[in-house]
């Protein structure tokens, strides 16, 4: 059997794994990265990037259709068409460029990439099944970055008409009718995109409201969009499976009444789970936190020099969290003193409109025993929002009442994902309401709503 030796062995080439490997290479640490499929992992190949590309294409198509019906902007257009195959090809081109860039960066920094499926022998040894035979790799440090997988419901398993987000992002054809199981961010992002592309869409959610991870004020504008687009929403309903003919989803409402929803295709989007099986992880007998690998503030597991980052360690399952953890682990192995203690991690929902949450909401601050003040500034009073025809939504700030330290930001509206950096920086740097209110914001921009929210919390907003 072929063998190799390295200082750091990374299992998984997603955002966390490849960032850790690149940073380790920059520090001169001998590094091998093992990836069974394609570099970039779920995020670059079948998640964050392709979904945002499809969402953008759907938005542009919907915009042109809007112009075909007449627009207050004075723009008109003939009945538009979309070449779905060409759209998917464009999306795949973006993915190819990004994953190719990751490969080039790994090579530039001296990281050896091994294509194959890893199986852990012990905390220092991994065997990789390659096309030309097995390779046994010995390492000083083992980093687990295997990501997560879509949750499959046993009574409506994937296959045939029942798909996960992976298949939904590369449709060969557009279904006439799509049923989405789950009204969380993945289900609604893709459900809205499919509706804008022309499919009839129905959403089934077991909870009594959409986007249950977000508060009502943030989810209401998204609900308004669903109604405007004609998306059916069935709340408080449980899915029972497909009917015998396989062309409808059986469901039961809160009153116990059973019914069927016709479906040419069914997207199951009820969450993701850590990918902890299939590669011998159980042999390490690591401490677990439910399905996730338990880690400390340095991403160390219960076994010395075995590390874990990203989705395999549980919520929040966000690519940017995994990237930050991966960079930190490489720094620690390189001799630096680091701990993963961010003040806040942004979470973005790319629905229409977008939602961004950073830090504590007013409800969470109260539950944490913080006496807080909060204020929002509506985009209806923002000049830039008016010029881009997007006045729904607001920016909200949450701060301590005693010293005005900002502990949270939330926003809902078109393009608010781009405000997440400002939100995160203000919390990480310990900004006060006065700091944000006193910072000159460019006019006209959506960012002015950030300043105005802080001013309103201080009792002197200027434009409302």
Residues labelled as active-site residues: 443
Phi, psi of 300 (to 5 degrees): -85, 140
Q: What is the DSSP letter of 107?
A: H
CA distance 203 to 226: 10
- Helix (H) / strand (E) element for 242: namely strand 238-242
Q: What Cα–Cα distance (Å) separates residue 194 from each residue in 18, 61, 190, 268, 416?
A: 31, 11, 6, 14, 22
């Amino acid at each position: 059997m072929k063998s190799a030796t390295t200082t750091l062995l990374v299992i998984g080439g997603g955002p966390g794994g490849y960032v850790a490997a690149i940073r380790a290479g920059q520090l001169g640490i001998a590094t091998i990265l093992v990836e069974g499929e394609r570099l970039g992992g779920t995020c670059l190949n079948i998640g964050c990037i392709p979904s945002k590309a499809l969402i953008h294409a759907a938005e542009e198509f919907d915009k042109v259709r809007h112009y075909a019906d007449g627009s207050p902007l004075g723009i008109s257009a003939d009945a538009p068409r979309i070449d779905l195959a060409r759209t998917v090809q464009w999306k795949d081109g973006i993915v190819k460029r990004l994953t190719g860039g990751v490969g080039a960066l790994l090579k530039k920094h001296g990281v050896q990439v091994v294509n194959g499926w890893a199986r852990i022998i012990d905390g220092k040894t991994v065997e990789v099944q390659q096309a030309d035979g097995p390779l046994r790799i010995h390492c000083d440090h083992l980093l687990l970055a295997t990501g997560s997988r879509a949750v499959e419901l046993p009574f409506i398993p994937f296959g045939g008409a029942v798909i996960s987000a992976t298949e939904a992002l590369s449709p060969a054809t557009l279904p006439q009718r799509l049923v989405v199981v789950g009204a969380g961010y993945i289900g609604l992002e893709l459900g809205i995109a499919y509706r804008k592309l022309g499919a009839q869409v129905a959403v089934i959610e077991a909870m009594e409201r959409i986007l249950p991870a977000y508060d009502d004020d943030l989810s209401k504008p998204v609900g308004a969009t669903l109604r405007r687009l004609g998306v059916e929403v069935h709340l408080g309903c449980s899915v029972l499976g497909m009917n015998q003919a396989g062309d409808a989803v059986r469901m039961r409402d809160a009153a116990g009444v059973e019914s069927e929803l016709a479906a040419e295709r069914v997207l199951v989007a009820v969450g993701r789970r850590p990918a902890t099986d299939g590669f011998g992880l159980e042999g390490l007998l690591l401490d677990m936190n439910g399905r996730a690998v338990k880690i400390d503030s340095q991403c160390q597991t219960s076994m010395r020099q075995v590390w874990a980052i990203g989705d395999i360690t549980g919520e929040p399952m966000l690519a940017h969290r995994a990237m930050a953890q991966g960079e930190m682990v490489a720094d620690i192995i390189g001799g630096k003193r680091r701990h993963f203690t961010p003040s806040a991690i942004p979470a973005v929902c790319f629905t229409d409109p977008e939602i961004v949450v950073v830090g504590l909401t007013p409800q969470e601050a109260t539950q944490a025993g913080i006496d807080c003040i909060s204020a929002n500034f509506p985009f209806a009073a923002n000049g830039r929002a008016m010029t881009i025809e997007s006045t729904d939504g607001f920016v909200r700030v949450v701060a301590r009442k005693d010293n005005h330290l900002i502990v949270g930001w939330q926003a809902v509206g078109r393009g608010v994902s781009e405000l997440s950096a400002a939100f995160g920086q203000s919390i990480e740097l310990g900004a006060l309401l006065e700091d944000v209110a006193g910072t000159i914001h460019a006019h006209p921009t959506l960012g002015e709503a950030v300043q105005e929210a802080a001013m309103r919390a201080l009792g002197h907003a200027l434009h409302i």
